[in-house]
A and B are shown apart, each in its own frame.
Chain A
């Protein structure tokens, strides 16, 4: 490859500045989200409780969502009535962090705008890094981490732009992005440099980029699953006639219904699973070119495989009647845990052929 291309110190410096700036903006977004939640807590919504209390008599409540999807032009569109599956609770989604308050909503919008700005700055940082090293910016864990959080935020913003109900992820996402960038810029930082020969391959672009996308989107799914578990126990408690703590109520009643969160997580995981399968296969092809064997049970390969099987487990569990709901959710969390371990654990604690991509 291009040996003579000396690392461009200047661009590397710009990249670092951009990453630090994005952290500053993310911090502002974090506080804006906090403000959103705080103002939102002052509204007395109590919708979940009401819905569930109606149900506590034992009779199933039917909530019919009349959908008049657009198209009001000439003809009145026939109204479609939907019902959710039997055995699932029909609870309306919470009103979101802002709790329907004007101030909360304002802060929420500010938080999202700041997240957009931070995302743009961070993406700039990643691109500058790529230019400075004249290659894909995924040669070590520092570069991997900054790309990872950029992609996660990007995916979240795309979902927002598609008008999906995902603003509830905001606070958790921004918090973890700050954590990720904090670790990246301190312990994982590596000076901008070129790659060792084994990484010189277009498979780097294919394999690593899809790996990052998978991880980032799996992460969004995992957040959905985690919140599902909290919200589900909250709903269970209410349905059983209990009263959850004040703080839990304030936070959880504003989240979407457990079923919505669960479906969100499932869709995300199911959508990414084929891409993850592709990532592993692309990795195997690359390994075939680089190391002379497609599959050698290298620790990284093992953990990719474990992650894959764990997600397959989750998808199977969903297709099996007795395993829906919480049990499947635990499997999803275990699967994401495997992904995380494959990233941090294997790079740091285990040595293998992949370890030069390391710390």
Chain B
């Protein structure tokens, strides 16, 4: 095959050259010239060759696989922890291979960085080449047009000059870039293909840079808000906060919002009973330090957008309102306590911590802690389960048991607000010496033993948690993506092709018209287009009476050589 290719290319001369800017493949075995520069050059040529681009692309897809099968720190750290506990043998190996952080691992980064270096090394020369091609004229007709993938010929009484002029006019009208050269007209069309291809590859770089830049400057944090409370966008107000390495605190847009109301509805019946149907967080927000308050409903797919910062609705749950009185009947605590859902029916757990203000029956200062277990819809007494039956607030029940002593909050260690550290606390016991615990309905009160006061389950509020994120350069990424699609469409749907029309006076004085087309190997439309052009030209230079040459019989000695070949 390579043999025929080279003969073909020689035959066609420059006619088939530069029909694309794809680099020519060099054989891998070409030994580099010695010396550092020689090697560096060889290495660069290898890196920017299509073959290596292909291998790198393949490696990229291969390398992405482990990250989809092994839990990733970037997605779910808890899952990674569980996995490590369950697979003690492979985990250290995975850890070494950075399989828990595939997409930020050294080897994955190496693949895509090499790929993009290769891409740049490929685009730059191709762009230069393409600009050159845009300025140049289509190459002249090869000697024997019969060799080309599409060919036609006829004899006409029109003068050769007339035919060439007509051909030039027709081709230009169809927006071929055309010129007369010698006894033939050369024309080319479809430069948009190359433009599209270059645009696509450049857009890929724009996307990568935007993505990487976004990672460096982004910030993202979570905030849980109970109905009636609010949030102002400063770093201290976040429950948790992550940011890229070039993020600066001043980058946070000043704005604030209050959660007025949260509405969740659920499927009432059928096999999907309990499946969420709507989540709506109704908020009032104001832009800037003190902008006018505006109303907005945040839904799962509809974040609040303020100056490029987006506020997403993430999760929701219940926050029972608890009040605590001390032995003297003085209210020392009143708060809505957010609890964390542990199942789809919003069975929730958490802790109530009374830090200060409480004095025990004997007047000493003490802290109180309660473990809370809450279900929005209780199955009913004697049903054997405390778990919630439905995520809506049909029959809310709160189960409490309490402790007194020191919550351990002063120890300096960060504490989980949803868990009690009972190491320095004593449990409240009932009169039988058993653990004091009680199920409460809203409005009900649990008395603490020995005049230690009481706890009241006043009512239930809902909470919603929000993710507040800034993704700089998202616009660039989107622009790159759109450009990539258009570029790709141009690159794949447009054919770059050349047409030659030769008109010469034959031996008998009658003009012989020959037309031929050359495109890339995949073009199916080429013969059709050539046919159309031929018909158009034929109306101006109709077939002369007499024998018609059969385009199938090749004149010339090399009739047996296989034709076409030049695909580039």
Q: Chain A interface (Cβ within 8 Å of chain B)?
A: 1, 3, 7, 59-60, 62, 64, 66-67, 69, 71, 75-87, 191, 193-194, 196-198, 200-201, 203, 263, 266-267, 270-271, 273-274, 277-278, 281, 284-286, 288-299, 302-303, 305-306, 309-310, 312-313, 315-323, 338, 346, 350, 352
B46 close to chain A: CB less than 8 A:
no
Report yes or no: A62 in contact with B527, Cβ–Cβ below 8 A: no
Report yes or no: A320 in contact with B149, Cβ–Cβ below 8 A: no
Report yes or no: A200 in contact with B68, Cβ–Cβ below 8 A: no
Contacts A75-B539, A321-B25 given; indicate if A196 touches B275 (C-beta within 8 A).
yes
Report yes or no: B474 in contact with A294, Cβ–Cβ below 8 A: yes
Residues of A within 8 A of B534 (CB): 77-78, 80
Report yes or no: A194 in contact with B277, Cβ–Cβ below 8 A: yes
Considering the chains assembled together, what is the distance between the CA atoms of A198 and B563 in angstroms?
58
Considering the chains assembled together, what is the distance between the CA atoms of A121 and B300 in angstroms?
36
Q: How far, in Å, is A253 (CB) from chain B's closest CB?
A: 24
Considering the chains assembled together, what is the distance between the CA atoms of A62 and B4 in angstroms?
14
Chain A minimum-CB-distance residue to B265: A3
**Which of B477, B531, B564 contacts A86, CB < 8 Å?**
B564
Report yes or no: A197 in contact with B531, Cβ–Cβ below 8 A: no
Contacts A79-B152, A274-B489, A322-B25 given; indicate if A309 touches B60 (C-beta within 8 A).
yes
Q: How far, in Å, is A200 (CB) from chain B's closest CB?
A: 6
Contacts A82-B149, A85-B149, A274-B488 given; indicate if A201 touches B301 (C-beta within 8 A).
yes
Residues of A within 8 A of B322 (CB): none
Contacts A87-B565, A285-B478, A312-B57 given; indicate if A305 touches B64 (C-beta within 8 A).
yes
Report yes or no: B301 in contact with A313, Cβ–Cβ below 8 A: no
**Which of B265, B314, B488 contacts A292, CB < 8 Å?**
B314
Chain A minimum-CB-distance residue to B222: A292
Interface string of B459-473 (1 = CB under 8 A from A): 000000001010100
Chain B minimum-CB-distance residue to A306: B61
Q: How far, in Å, is B130 (CB) from chain A's closest CB?
A: 15
Considering the chains assembled together, what is the distance between the CA atoms of A273 and B487 in angstroms?
12
Contacts A194-B277, A266-B522 given; indicate if A290 touches B151 (C-beta within 8 A).
no
Report yes or no: A84 in contact with B301, Cβ–Cβ below 8 A: no
**Which of B150, B276, B471, B565 contacts A81, CB < 8 Å?**
B150
Considering the chains assembled together, what is the distance between the CA atoms of A274 and B487 in angstroms?
9
Q: How far, in Å, is B533 (CB) from chain A's closest CB?
A: 9
Report yes or no: A80 in contact with B481, Cβ–Cβ below 8 A: no
Chain A minimum-CB-distance residue to B303: A289
Residues of A within 8 A of B484 (CB): 277, 281
Residues of B within 8 A of A1 (CB): 277-278
Residues of A within 8 A of B552 (CB): 64, 66, 81
Q: Which residues of B from 68 to 118 have beta carbons under 8 Å from A?
A: 68-69, 72, 74-75, 102-103
**Which of A71, A297, A323 contacts B72, CB < 8 Å?**
A297
Chain B minimum-CB-distance residue to A356: B275
Report yes or no: B562 in contact with A60, Cβ–Cβ below 8 A: yes
Residues of A within 8 A of B493 (CB): 271
Considering the chains assembled together, what is the distance between the CA atoms of A86 and B1 in angstroms?
7
Residues of B within 8 A of A322 (CB): 25, 51
Report yes or no: A86 in contact with B478, Cβ–Cβ below 8 A: no
The 4 closest A-B pairs by CB, nearest first: A87-B1, A86-B565, A302-B68, A309-B61
Considering the chains assembled together, what is the distance between the CA atoms of A267 and B520 in angstroms?
13
Can you list 22 residue pairs at the A/B interface with Cβ under 8 Å? Answer: A60-B560, A78-B538, A80-B530, A81-B150, A81-B152, A82-B150, A83-B563, A86-B565, A196-B276, A201-B301, A277-B485, A281-B481, A281-B485, A288-B474, A289-B303, A292-B220, A293-B220, A297-B68, A299-B69, A302-B64, A316-B53, A338-B61
Residues of A within 8 A of B489 (CB): 274
**Which of B149, B154, B515 contacts A83, CB < 8 Å?**
B149
Considering the chains assembled together, what is the distance between the CA atoms of A293 and B103 in angstroms?
15
Considering the chains assembled together, what is the distance between the CA atoms of A76 and B146 in angstroms?
21
Contacts A83-B564, A310-B58 known; 4 new A-B pairs at CB < 8 A: A1-B277, A306-B68, A313-B61, A319-B50
Chain B minimum-CB-distance residue to A83: B563
**Which of B310, B312, B485 contacts A278, CB < 8 Å?**
B485
Considering the chains assembled together, what is the distance between the CA atoms of A3 and B538 in angstroms?
67
Contacts A78-B531, A309-B61 given; indicate if A84 touches B51 (C-beta within 8 A).
no
**Which of A3, A82, A338, A352 counts the most B-chain CB atoms under 10 A from its CB?**
A82
B416 close to chain A: CB less than 8 A:
no
Q: How far, in Å, is B496 (CB) from chain A's closest CB?
A: 13
Report yes or no: B299 in contact with A323, Cβ–Cβ below 8 A: no
Q: Which residues of B from 505 to 545 have beta carbons under 8 Å from A?
A: 515, 521-522, 524, 526-528, 530-531, 534-535, 538-539, 542-543
Report yes or no: A292 in contact with B303, Cβ–Cβ below 8 A: yes
B253 close to chain A: CB less than 8 A:
no
Q: How far, in Å, is A272 (CB) from chain B's closest CB?
A: 10
Report yes or no: A191 in contact with B211, Cβ–Cβ below 8 A: no
Chain A minimum-CB-distance residue to B550: A79
Residues of B within 8 A of A286 (CB): 301
Residues of B within 8 A of A291 (CB): 312
Q: How far, in Å, is A286 (CB) from chain B's closest CB?
A: 8
Considering the chains assembled together, what is the distance between the CA atoms of A297 and B105 in angstroms?
13
B124 close to chain A: CB less than 8 A:
no
Report yes or no: B61 in contact with A80, Cβ–Cβ below 8 A: no
Residues of A within 8 A of B481 (CB): 281, 284
